[in-house]
Amino acid sequence: MPYRWSNISLLANLFALFWDNIIEGNIASAVRAYRHQGGGAKIILKKVTDPQRFGVPKLEGRKVITIEEKPSKPQSDYAVIGIYMFDGEVYNIIRTLEPSGRGELEITDVNNAYIARAEMTWEELDGWWTDAGTFESLLHASNLVAQTGANKLEFSSGEVPTNV
């Protein structure tokens, strides 16, 4: 029997991590904050030098106003890095989505639905982050991990987390 979206409405929270994300630190504090949030969604952001390559949030203080995918004129220096936390309403939101011009359902549309409901929060990632979706970026990520490690529970006193 084929799987039906209607069958998953009983599921609770969803945590999504895109496969090509590699981070120096960890997201433990963001997960704790999300658990205390009581619902809605949370995204992880990182300041980058080339935000036009990513989903970019427009922020007003701690409030996310919108997210635009790969904008030619980014409204901030932050990238949405592909780590998401959603409550069970995500399944109802997914049911309403229409495929994009690429023929895909877009995570940015899910995030903007939560923003429209005023149910989106964000945390900034400590340490470096890189995506490893190309051969070149995978080599870069491998070199970073070899030099500094990854998924650290704590930074040592001499380390200064930076974006690369």
Q: What is the pLDDT of residues 81-125, one digit of tens each?
A: 999 999 999 999 999 999 988 898 999 999 999 999 999 999 999
Q: Which distant-in-sequence residues (6+ apart) come within 8 Å of 125 by Cβ?
A: 23, 25, 27, 30, 44, 45, 46, 81, 83
**CATH for 76:** 3.90.550.10
pLDDT, the chain, mean: 85
Residue 97: inside a domain, yes or no?
yes
Structure tokens at 94: 């997914």
The domain of 78 spans 26-126
Query: Letter for the amino acid at 115?
Result: I
- Quick one: the chain helix, strand, coil %, rounded to 5? 30, 25, 45
Q: Identify whether 20 is part of a domain.
A: no
Q: In sequence order, what E strands does 94-155 have? A: 120-124, 129-131
pLDDT tens digits, residue range 19-51? 788 888 889 899 999 999 989 999 999 999 999
Query: Rounded CA gap, 102 and 111, in Å?
Result: 18
**Number of domains composing the chain:** 1
pTM of the predicted model, to two decimals? Answer: 0.81
- Confidence at 132, pLDDT banded by 50, 70, 90: confident
